[in-house]
Chain A
Amino acid sequence: MQRRPFLLGCGCLAFAAAAGVHADEYDYQVPPRFSRPDPSSDEGGLWAFMDREEQRLKRSSFVIRDPALHDYVNRIACRLAGDHCPEMRVYLVRTPYFNASMAPNGMMQVWSGLLVRMQNEGQLAAVLGHEIGHYLQRHSVERLRDIKSRSSFAQIVGIALGVAGGGNLGALAQVGILAGGLAYGRDQEREADRIGIALMARNGYAPAEAGRVWGQLLEEYEGAKAAGEDVSTTNILFASHPPAEERREVLAAAAKRDWPGAERTGADEYRAALASHRMGFLYDEVRRRRFGESLVLFDRLLKASPRDGQVQYFKGEAYRLRGREGDTKLALEAYRAALEMDNTPPEVHRSLGTVLRQTGEDAEATRAFQRFLELKPDAEDAELIRSYLTGSQS
């Protein structure tokens, strides 16, 4: 029972032809408002289950409750969803993985690992539009029915099934709550991509940003591989989605179509909205210990903002925490570069001191620690650092 977003019998075909545009799969017609499904139906079951998951999510300590950031993301999601806006609730979750999801009951989650990777508002809009696409096309229920019909056969032939969706959801289990329900099939992902780009372009965002989201992720993946890191569990989304290259290419091609008035990227607005949270997100990112990926991300952020001392500091942290042969030197270079930039956190001096101790440059280490204490006398480790200076402790 596929619902196809074709233009049929609404006269739109004629209008589009007159405008010189071919009616095609990107001329998405948003369905009318949803009403709550019958609780005895499978859709009703999913819906109500997600309601209860939402109750749990609401109580979670991991939800970001800052009204300013919430409203910012919510406004964008609302514009994209149009008439369906009242059906949605947006939750920002502090977890350093790249993910956004939308459950069939209208609960939308955006994880901080995704927020920190978006370069501008347009990219965020592409992702939110994609999730809204899943929601508007009710892919979750489709998927549930599909799995149910196929899985009996699989059982008989003794194929072990994973959790519904067949993907590796081990990492998702870390969230502790179902992230939007079931994993989607590849055709559904492709459809959601098409809808997402249509929605973003209609709301004035430059559609070229959509493909860039995947290009950026791919670069991180390549960076990790090049650094010799284990990439098998890199991004859970790579498992269940069409390959990132395909998505990047298809979306890049779609961006070349005629989208009148779709030019906005909103880089400044996005940076401003994220500003007060970003240091925490970068801290979480580096603690993931996927340094190859993190370094690609940090370099990209620096390319857009070459004097961003905050990002430069975390670049140094990535080297320090990775601690491979030669990393100490790279960390020192990175921290020293940060000192010349703007918006550099005082912690850079502490990290400098820590690394200089490793290289035996004790006098300079002492100066760095002193500088840190001057800037942050109430740091949680102030007593400890003072003891380094007096030499009374190792």
Chain B
Amino acid sequence: MRLTPWLAAAALCTLAGCAQMVKVESGQVTIKDTLSVTTASAWNRFDLPQLNLSVAPGAAEIWTQDGVTLDALAFFVGVSQGETLGKAMPGSTKKLPQFRSAMTPGEIVELYEQMVTQDGSAFALKRVAPGRFGEQPGFRFEHTITRKSDSVLLKGVGQGAVVKGKLYLVVFTAPSIYYYERHLPQVEPLMASARIRAL
């Protein structure tokens, strides 16, 4: 029965009232007092704990331009040794693995894969390479996700680094038709501008 997407949407409202999206103005923005990025364009932010986007459940913040079912820019800030990347999706029986500070980027991508496949979506890694996370040495990965709920093929790019034992990750996903290419020119410089304050 195809009510599920509507119900998932409905879950964002409690009977007490509904949450709102907040505008992220262009310029420098700080997430969780720790990670700052600079964006040339405005975004829309939702950081509702009851929202479980299958591409980034438990992210510190999620920004979007066109909406939750389309593009998502997810920030994971300061994941510590022993914590999971992201959180369990409701209905998932999988116990998420824990982050270890000594993990290789390849192992961190495995954490990401586990997080986004909880709902049965399929993940395919296209490329992972050393890169920069702002000024820090880090890694970059490109992937696709075939979303279980509606079979939409998403393309994704992520950049991350482990700094003083904590993981910082920014991942952008959007439908491979049109939306990924449309927003990538804004996303790349944003990712390149990442600065970690806890240093």
Show the binding face of A for B, using Cβ within 8 Å.
59-62, 94-95, 170-171, 173-176, 230, 233, 287-289, 321, 323, 350, 354, 357-358, 380-381, 383-385, 387-388, 392-394
B125–A381 touching, CB < 8 Å: yes
At the interface, yes or no: B149 with Cβ under 8 Å from chain A? Answer: yes
Listed by A's residue number, 23 A-B pairs whose Cβ atoms lie within 8 Å are A61-B122, A61-B151, A62-B148, A171-B91, A174-B119, A174-B120, A174-B148, A176-B149, A287-B113, A289-B95, A350-B106, A380-B127, A380-B128, A381-B128, A381-B129, A383-B128, A383-B129, A383-B130, A384-B128, A384-B139, A387-B129, A387-B130, A393-B105
Docked CA distance A381–B93 (Å): 29
Docked CA distance A380–B93 (Å): 29
A289–B97 touching, CB < 8 Å: yes
Q: Which residue of B lies closest to A388 (CB)?
A: B104
The smallest beta-carbon distance between A203 and chain B, in angstroms, is 33
B86-112 with Cβ < 8 A to chain A: 91, 93-95, 97-98, 102, 104-107, 110
Q: Using Cβ atoms and an 8 Å threshold, which residues of chain A touch B94?
A: 288-289
Best-surrounded residue of B93, B94, B102, B107 (most CB of chain A within 10 A): B93
The smallest beta-carbon distance between A53 and chain B, in angstroms, is 10
Q: Which residue of B lies closest to A393 (CB)?
A: B130
The smallest beta-carbon distance between B131 and chain A, in angstroms, is 9
Docked CA distance A350–B127 (Å): 15
Q: Using Cβ atoms and an 8 Å threshold, which residues of chain A touch B139?
A: 384, 393
Given known A-B contacts A94-B122, A95-B120, A381-B106, A323 and B146 have beta carbons under 8 A apart: no
| 8 residue pairs, one from A and one from B, having the closest CB atoms | A383-B129, A174-B120, A393-B130, A387-B130, A233-B93, A381-B128, A170-B91, A61-B146
At the interface, yes or no: B162 with Cβ under 8 Å from chain A? Answer: yes
A358–B102 touching, CB < 8 Å: yes
Number of A-B contacts (CB under 8 A): 80
Q: Using Cβ atoms and an 8 Å threshold, which residues of chain B touch A384?
A: 104-106, 128-130, 139
Q: Using Cβ atoms and an 8 Å threshold, which residues of chain B touch A321?
A: 97, 110
Taking A175-B148, A289-B114, A381-B125 as given, write out 7 further A-B residue pairs in contact, using a Cβ cutoff of 8 Å, ordered by the A residue number: A175-B120, A289-B94, A289-B95, A358-B102, A383-B128, A384-B128, A393-B105
The smallest beta-carbon distance between B31 and chain A, in angstroms, is 23
- Majority secondary structure, A binding face: loop
For A230, give its contact among B95, B102, B125, B127 (CB under 8 Å): B95
The smallest beta-carbon distance between A234 and chain B, in angstroms, is 8
- Majority secondary structure, B binding face: mixed
Q: Using Cβ atoms and an 8 Å threshold, which residues of chain B touch A392?
A: 130, 137
For A62, give its contact among B93, B122, B125 (CB under 8 Å): B122
Docked CA distance A358–B128 (Å): 20
Q: Which residue of A lies closest to B89 (CB)?
A: A174
Q: Using Cβ atoms and an 8 Å threshold, which residues of chain B touch A288?
A: 94
The smallest beta-carbon distance between A373 and chain B, in angstroms, is 13
For B125, give its contact among A174, A233, A358, A380 (CB under 8 Å): A380
B146–A62 touching, CB < 8 Å: yes
Q: Using Cβ atoms and an 8 Å threshold, which residues of chain A touch B182?
A: none
A354–B107 touching, CB < 8 Å: yes
Q: Which residue of B lies closest to A49 (CB)?
A: B1
Q: Which residue of A lies closest to B106 (CB)?
A: A381
The smallest beta-carbon distance between B149 and chain A, in angstroms, is 6
The smallest beta-carbon distance between A353 and chain B, in angstroms, is 9
For A323, give its contact among B97, B106, B127 (CB under 8 Å): B97
The smallest beta-carbon distance between A369 and chain B, in angstroms, is 10
Docked CA distance A174–B91 (Å): 9
At the interface, yes or no: B53 with Cβ under 8 Å from chain A? Answer: no
At the interface, yes or no: B126 with Cβ under 8 Å from chain A? Answer: yes
Q: Which residue of A lies closest to B2 (CB)?
A: A56
At the interface, yes or no: B184 with Cβ under 8 Å from chain A? Answer: no
Q: Using Cβ atoms and an 8 Å threshold, which residues of chain A touch B91?
A: 170-171, 173-174
Q: Using Cβ atoms and an 8 Å threshold, which residues of chain B touch A393?
A: 105, 130, 137, 139
